[in-house]
Every structure is written in structure tokens, then in C-alpha cells.
Amino acid sequence: MVLTITLQFLIANTILVPADYPTIQSAIDGSSYEGDTILVAQGTYVENIDFNGKNIYVTSNYFFTEHDSSIHNTIIDGNQSGSVVTFYGGETRDAVLNGFTITNGSGRGGSFTHGGGFYLRDASPSILNCRIIHNSVRGFGFGGGMMVKNSSPFLSNIVITENYSESYGAGGIFFSNSDAEMDSINRCSVFLNEAGDHNDLRCNPEFEFCPSVYLDTASVATIDDYFIKNIDVVDINIGKLEKVANDLYVSPDGDNNNSGLTLNEPLKNITYALHVIEADSLNPRVIHLLPGTYSPSGGQHFPLNLRSYVSLIGAGKENTIIDLEFVKSYVMMGANYEKDVTLSSMTIKYGFMDFDVVMSATTLKFYQNSGLIIENILFENIISGYTINPTMLSSNMDWQDYTSTTIRNCEFNNNTILTALSLGWNTDILVQNCKFDSNLPVESSENDWVDVSHTSITLGGHHYTYEFPYTRRIENCVVTRNLNIFSGEVGMKVVAMAIDPLLYPADIVNCTFADNNCNFYGISITSNHLHHTKARFVNCILWNDYLPYEVIVPEDYFEGEEMVYLNMAYNDVQNGTDDFLFEGDVDLIYENSNIDTDPLFVDAENGDYTLQPDSPLIDAGTALYIVDGDTVVNLSQDQYYGDAPDIGAYEWYPDLENGKDLSLLPESVRINSVYPNPFNSSTTIKYQLLQAGEINFGLFDIKARLIKSLVNAYVGVGEHHVTINIDNIASGTYILKLETISGIDSKKIILMK
């Protein structure tokens, strides 16, 4: 290869830049289609070049000197105006680019761009001795440094580093149906690129070809799918980073030269911590996000590419802030079958996506994950397509790889979105104790194709279906004051919640839907793609959502003989079935246990949807409900106060301090269990902390008098237990109260002597 290129150079016509032509592109345009050489003097050339099918040699002085200074000082700057270098005209390996720094490219395309530095398609050039750095692609684009599609290039001694893909398309090189040859002698280096998944190299396995590669320098010596996907890495000489088999600490004020092993020596960048941390199923790890604001202007890089068995735990909603500064949409992505990841205890705010460019941007995007837990996160003032979207991409996956997601104790407030939670596409879902308040639907010039905006939750199905039982459950959630800002535009229908679960039941238990000012309906239940839908509401409030309908089954979703099965029991529904509109075939079971009465919220106008002490919903729910052989509700006596659970998301009982109602579930701490309960003289209590700190754990009587202090000390993160022995107080009902810096939980216990 080198001999062939050298001989070609010696016999070809030579064009000098800038002596003969002022720019590289003008020299290419003025060259012959075969054999000419363009010799480029050192300097920075702000342009985007396209070989236009010409098999010519474009080189810097590196050809003569072989000094890296020629590469570093001969720069083609794409000025964020597209791919820096394009080969898309059937070029062969006689088309050569040699000895340049390629930088500041933004990729080829429209809403999604591909190939930030290089765009190779249906071409097989030779790229030699180049440095590809600080290029990017946006949207669902591929290849921050280089996109190689239907091509067979020769790559020798190129360095690809610090390139970026906005979503999941590989920050370094993306190969598609390409058998690229990477020089095994003068090896390439690909390291420390960033993307939503597969930071450095990725090949699309849909087609036959994926290359085998030799690398001089990689991000780490022992690679995994976090860095490289579907590519046979034959050999690596050097790993740029050393892996760390420990939990790590990160702070906006940290330093990546620190060890990251202690609170006093935190790292600075979350992405750097994800790069170096080493974890597996036997050794899960945690990256602790210490108090502070993590933002692009503060040096943080988004999206974060998640790793299996690595959790990101903040210091609480008020302390750990991810501020996207209205310049980023994606925060985190799990797009590679990640397993057992927990995201917890932080606020995410000020995300932004230009909806005229891409409508489907997501704050937290997950594909085909298992064991995903999202808890204690506040999402506020985000402009995006979705805030959380776990999904499955392919119908060809083994059923054991389905998505499993738990979302609990999260708040979605004052966002402008299509949907806060889009929870469909064959997923096993639990949404628990979440609040959706005052969210708005997005407005875009592309809204003509947005038929429905679900400003809170959609349990959507998809035409990919599997024969195993998904569970889709929403419990103790509050969906209130989600607003419509439009005035009836065609094609824009706004709902509080949409259900299309395809055969498998969706259970909505102890939820409050109220005052959602939507311009079409409150809750939509649809059947689509030739499948039935089952939805079961128990112990829920549906009140004062924008009339005319609290619940609708729209006709335009029906194709053939589909049917919606709707079961409602122990709910408070304004106007009962008079506010239901069934345009399709519906099998409705509306039990006599449902009521229609004012719930008597404490202060709905100001967002307080707890119950007044004289609310008719107190003790009006059910602790056990079984339908179709499925147990939809099964609450033990210590999970509610009084003779029966209350209807709605809040369980009323006198607070130990000020008499306000309390939620059934805690914000960010949890009393997990009390056993035995009822108890005679002793019982063991297990409790969980998501943030280390001082706690006060006490036993009170129902008049809020402290009976016994159980723990008053600094306690670490995790599950703990305490055993209490009581011999000198009377039988009766008592309250455990756990107070921490990040939240409060209470639980009723019964002493029986």
C-alpha cells in the first residue's frame, strides 16, 4: 500500500495549497479525476471538503517529514457546518488523505447527522496519519469521529479521540456493512470518545460485515461493550486508563487526577468515573454524586453512557443538581442491555430540545435493560419529548432480555413535554409514589403528526409482542394540574394518561387524577394493533379533569375485533359513568363500590391533594381485590391507617407534628418491614437510607408523644435494622417515625400483650 501511494505521488501532477489554489476544496475541484496530488501547507483551513469521486492524493508535509507537527499544524476545521471530509462518490483506495488534524465537524444530514469528522459511504479511500478530534453528531446520528457505511477503507496510524455522539451512535467510529481494513503494523488509536452508548467503536450487526481491528491505544486495555460493540478487537497495545474496582466519588469541584476513592478526593467528571469504574454482577459499584451542580458549562459531558451494575446515587434532590442549561436534552442513556442500574437522589432540570429538529428526545433513555431502578429524582423545567422512556427495540430478542423498570418517589413538575413517562413497548413496569404536576404539552411546527400528547403517563403497547406475562402497575401516584396551552389545534389532543397495554393488564391502584385541564380527555384507553387491552382501576380518584370526559375509548384506534376490558372498583369518579365515552367495543365492569362524591382535598388550588379529616374517601377503599384470578390489591394492616385504605394516593392520619396528611410511601427513606407486627414485647424493624447522615428514629403514641428513642446517630447508606423491646407500655397502636436529612417515613405498629 505505501509503495503504491509513493509511486503515484512521484509521477502525478502536483497542486499546491494555498499557492495554486486558496482552499483544499478548490484544489480538489481543479484537479483531474485520477492521480493528481494536492500538497497542503501548514495552517488552518476552515472548510468542508468532498473528494467528489476523485482518486487523488491530498497530503500535508507529513509525507516528507513524518513529523507529528505536520499533522498537528495542518488543520481542516469544519466550523460545525457538516462533515469535515466526505467520500461519497465511489472513491477507491487510490483516493488518499494523509497527515491532517480533522476537527470541529458536525456531520452530514438534517435532523440527525452522521460522520462528524469523516463521512464515508459507498467509497473505500485510504486515510493515513490523521488526528480526528472534537467532532460531533446530533440527534440519532452515528459516528462522532467517522461514519463508515457500505465501504471498505484502509485506515493507518489515525488517532480518533474526544469525539462525541449526542445519542447512541458511537462517539469514535460507526461501521455499517463495512469490512474496513485497519493497519496491523501502523496501528490506529481510538480512545476517550463519548456517546450515549459504545463510546469508541460500534458496528451495526444487521448486515454481514463488521471489521476486525488492531489498536495501538484504546480507552482501556480490556474493553467491553461500554467502549466497543460488535467488533472483533484482535489486539490492543496500550490502555489509556486504569480501571478502578471500587465505588467512586464525584464532585463539580473535584479533579480527575484525584483517586476518587473518598469524599475528600473526588473526581470531577461523571463520564470519567463511568470510564474507569469496574463492576460486574458479583461486584456492583456506586458512583456517588456529591452535593453541587453538574452542568455543561461546569465541564460535565452529557449524555452519560450507563454501565451494568454501576449506580449513580446523588446526595438528595436539593443537593445534587444536574442542570442542562437548556443546551442538552439527553442526560443518561442505557442502550446496551445494561443490568441492575439504580439512578437516585438528584434533581434534573433545564433540559432542552428543538422539536422542529427532533421530536423524540428523551431525558433518560433506556433500551432493553433489566433491573433498572429510578427513584427520588425531581424532573423540572425540562423541554423534551419524554423525561423517561424505557423500551425494547427488536422483536427478535429472547424474552428473557425484556425491559424491567421500577420508577418510584419521583416528581415531574412544570415540564414542557410530550410524555413524562412513556412506558410501553413490551416492558415490565412498576411506577410507585410519583407526582406529575403542572406539566404542559410541547408546541412545534411539526405537531401536525403528533396526534396525542400524554403530559403525564402513557402505558403504550407496540406491534412487537411476546408470550410472557408483563406486569404494568401504577400505584400511589398523583397526576394533577397538567395543562393544555393550546386552543384546539387540529391534530393536537392532550391527555393526562393513556393506556394501550396489548393483552397484558395495566393495574392503576391508589392514584389521584384531578384538575388536569386537557383539551380532549383525562384518561385514554385504547386497543390497537389487533390486540385487546385490559385496564383495572382500584382505589383511585378521577375528579374534575377537563370535561366532557374523564375516560374515553376512542373509535379511531380500533381495527377489526379489538376490545377494551375496563374494570373499576372502589374509585371516586366524578359523575360516574356519565363522564365515560366509549366509541369502540368495551367490556366494562363498574362495581357498586365506586362512588361519586367530592373528595375534599386540603388545598387543590395550591397543589395540596391530601384529604381533609372529614373526607368521605377515608377508609373507603379496599385492602384486597382479586379479579380474573389476579391479586390487584393486597395491603397488610400496617400499610394503612384505620379500618381500610383511603381512596386516592394519600393515606390520611394525624401527623405527629402538625396534623397534615401523609403519603403512603416515603420520599427518599423507607421503613422496609416490621416483624412481627402485631407483636408482643419485641419486634425487629428494617429500614433503608439512600443518603448517609444523622437520623432520628423514634416510637410515638397516636397523640404524638415520644415513647422511645430507637436511633439517634450518624448512619450510612443501605439497609439497617433495629430491635425494640417494650415491657412497660399498654397494648395499642403506635407510630414509628424515621427522620433523616433527605426525608421522613412513618409506619404503624400494633402492640398486643
pLDDT value at 296 more than 60: yes
Give the confidence band of 496 by pLDDT, cuts at 50, 70, 90: low
**pLDDT attached to residue 519:** 58
pLDDT value at 179 more than 60: yes
Q: What is the 3-state secondary structure (H, E, C) of 630-671?
A: EEEEECCHHHCCCCCCCCCCEECCCCCCCCCCEECCCCCEEE
Fold classified for 2-241: Pectate Lyase C-like (2.160.20)
- The C-alpha atoms of residue 16 and residue 706 are separated, in whole angstroms, by 88
Residue among 305, 300, 289, 383 at smallest CA distance from 345: 289
Nine-digit cell at 173? 467510529
Instruction: Please calculate the CA angle 101-103-108 and round it to the nearest 5 degrees.
Output: 125
By mean pLDDT, which of 263-267, 305-309, 359-363, 567-571 is the weakest? 359-363
Relative to beta strand 320-323, strand 292-294 is parallel
- The C-alpha atoms of residue 373 and residue 681 are separated, in whole angstroms, by 36
182-191 confidence digits (pLDDT tens): 999 999 999 9
Q: Is the dihedral of CA 292, 295, 297, 299 positive or negative?
A: positive
pLDDT value at 55 more than 90: yes
**pLDDT attached to residue 488:** 45
**pLDDT attached to residue 463:** 38
Average pLDDT, the chain: 82
91-142 confidence digits (pLDDT tens): 999 999 999 999 999 999 877 889 999 999 999 999 999 999 999 998 778 8
Give the confidence band of 530 by pLDDT, cuts at 50, 70, 90: very low
pLDDT value at 161 more than 70: yes
- The C-alpha atoms of residue 158 and residue 733 are separated, in whole angstroms, by 73
pLDDT value at 489 more than 50: no
For the residues 680-707, what does the mean pLDDT come to?
Answer: 82
**pLDDT attached to residue 453:** 54
pLDDT value at 154 more than 60: yes
- The C-alpha atoms of residue 200 and residue 230 are separated, in whole angstroms, by 12
pTM of the model: 0.81
Fold classified for 666-751: Immunoglobulin-like (2.60.40)
For the residues 626-649, what does the mean pLDDT come to?
Answer: 87
DSSP 8-class letter at 639: G
- The C-alpha atoms of residue 156 and residue 181 are separated, in whole angstroms, by 9
**pLDDT attached to residue 689:** 78
pLDDT value at 445 more than 70: no
Beta bridge partners of 553: 582
The residue written with cell numbers 385541564 in the block is: 517
Amino acid in position 626: I
**pLDDT attached to residue 35:** 87
Give the confidence band of 706 by pLDDT, cuts at 50, 70, 90: confident
For the residues 643-662, what does the mean pLDDT come to?
Answer: 68
- The domain limits of the chain are 2-241, 353-651, 666-751
Q: Are 737 and 746 in contact (CB under 8 A)?
A: yes
For the residues 685-690, what does the mean pLDDT come to?
Answer: 82
3-state secondary structure of 69: helix
**pLDDT attached to residue 257:** 95
Q: Is the dihedral of CA 641, 679, 409, 459 positive or negative?
A: negative
Q: Are 298 and 268 in contact (CB under 8 A)?
A: no
Alpha-carbon dihedral angle through residues 557, 559, 560, 561, given to the nearest 10 degrees: -30
Residue among 599, 621, 620, 619 at smallest CA distance from 610: 599
User: Cα separations (Å) of 169 from 116, 245, 303?
Assistant: 11, 28, 12
More confident residue, 658 or 148: 148
383-397 confidence digits (pLDDT tens): 877 777 766 544 444
pLDDT value at 428 more than 80: no
The residue written with cell numbers 408482643 in the block is: 680
**pLDDT attached to residue 158:** 97
